Amino acid sequence: MRIRGHSPILWRAPGETQIGAEPGHATILSGLTNAEQLLLDRLPEEIRPAGIYRAARWSRVPLERAREIVRELREIGIIDASPEATDDADTLYWDRLAVDAAERSAMLRASSVGLLGGGNLAREIIRLLVEAGVVTILPDDEALADWAADLSPAVRTRAPLDLRPDVVVSLSGHVVDPIRSRDLARAGITHLPVVVREVSVRVGPLVAEHSAVCTTCLDLWARDADPCWPALATQLRLLPAPVLERLLLHQAAALAARAVIDVVTGRGPLWEGRSVELSAADPAGVERHWRPHPDCLCSRLAVGPTGTGDASDAPEAVGDPADADGFSSLELEAYRP
């Protein structure tokens, strides 16, 4: 047994001890005697019966009381009772968040991720997914698949034809590919669009089988903001993807990989109806919360026919949205928490 995530044990005040260093994530134990606080300070990194006995003798806490304190810490999840200790950074981090790191690792190993598109951004996303523990990655680009297979002996880039990936990442330039998105939606495959735009990269929103928002909704909101958008989008689909600043490429790849890992570990709803736009101008990112567009068939199927959209239904932006889409007419609700 050990303190979960190797979190520190800190003295706060007489009778009060804190386990964990970060406000909001630490656990505060109160009503302790001075001897019990000393006991906690003396607990060894590996908590075994002999270590509890020695700490109890040193602090002069009765052994039964010392065992009771350790048992209570285990019951509330502060002590990890798994037999094997680990120094793996990812495991320790998720232990601190009270997530079963072993179960999470198993989910990553069992998952499969499709990737449509190529280039440096695709390579960086794949590299990060492999580093995180994903071993089945299915690029549509043969050269990219061969490159990915060389990253680790555990990586698989081939799968049975009937395998449905847990999530597919699509990389596109300027705009989401509507045909590709339609095919994924018809197949009921969870889809994370990543769009490389002229000065930014938009990650999301995630489109799952029962999501309220689809990629057509995004185009319809853009059309409401700029009536010329359909003509512009048609031309943009014919252009190559813009070249990215290297730092922005790494940042966007990390965010996309994070979204994929959230999906395959059961946290996908965090990304439904939500996108993040990264750029040098907004390095912290502009987060948008998308609503279904009333003119989109996905909205009609979900809630029945409605009227046309208006500014009050437009996607909200969290952070500074200043012309983030290049549309000065798009009315966005912005706030800073």
* CA proximity to 257, closest of 117, 113, 86: 113
Give me the pLDDT at residue 314, please: 58
Q: Does domain 103-335 have CATH number 3.40.50.720?
A: yes
| Assigned token pair, 206 | 């995630």
Q: Using CA atoms, how far apart are residues 16 and 220, in angstroms rounded to an integer?
A: 56
Cα–chain center distance at 285: 14
Give the total residue count for the chain: 337
Give me the pLDDT at residue 304, please: 43
Cα–chain center distance at 327: 28
Q: Using CA atoms, how far apart are residues 177 and 216, in angstroms rounded to an integer?
A: 10
Q: At what angle do helices 246-264 and 101-110 cross, to 10 degrees?
A: 100
**Do residues 192 and 171 touch, judged by C-beta distance below 8 A?**
no
Give me the pLDDT at residue 263, please: 96
Domains 2-86 and 103-335 alike in fold? no
Give me the pLDDT at residue 79, please: 84
Which of the four CATH numbers 3.90.930, 3.90.550, 3.30.70, 3.30.160 does domain 2-86 have? 3.90.930
Give me the pLDDT at residue 192, please: 96
Give me the pLDDT at residue 99, please: 83
Three-state secondary-structure class, residue 10 = strand
| Assigned token pair, 325 | 């889409």
Give me the pLDDT at residue 210, please: 83
The pTM score is 0.82
Q: Using CA atoms, how far apart are residues 257 and 110, in angstroms rounded to an integer?
A: 16
Please report, for the chain, the start and end positions of each structural domain, with discontinuous segments joined by +. Answer: 2-86, 103-335
Give me the pLDDT at residue 313, please: 56
Local confidence pLDDT in tens for the 337 residues of the chain: 888 888 899 999 999 999 999 988 889 999 999 999 999 999 888 888 898 889 999 999 999 999 999 999 888 888 887 766 677 888 888 888 878 888 899 999 999 999 999 999 999 999 999 999 999 999 999 999 999 999 999 999 998 888 899 999 999 999 999 889 889 988 889 999 999 999 999 999 999 988 888 998 999 999 999 999 999 999 999 999 999 999 999 999 999 999 999 999 999 899 999 999 999 999 899 999 999 988 888 755 544 444 444 444 556 655 443 343 433 222 223 222 3
User: What is the 3 state secondary structure string of 81-115?
Assistant: CCCCCCCCHHHHHHHHCCCCHHHHHHHHHHCEEEE
Question: What is the DSSP-derived secondary structure letter of residue 198?
Answer: S
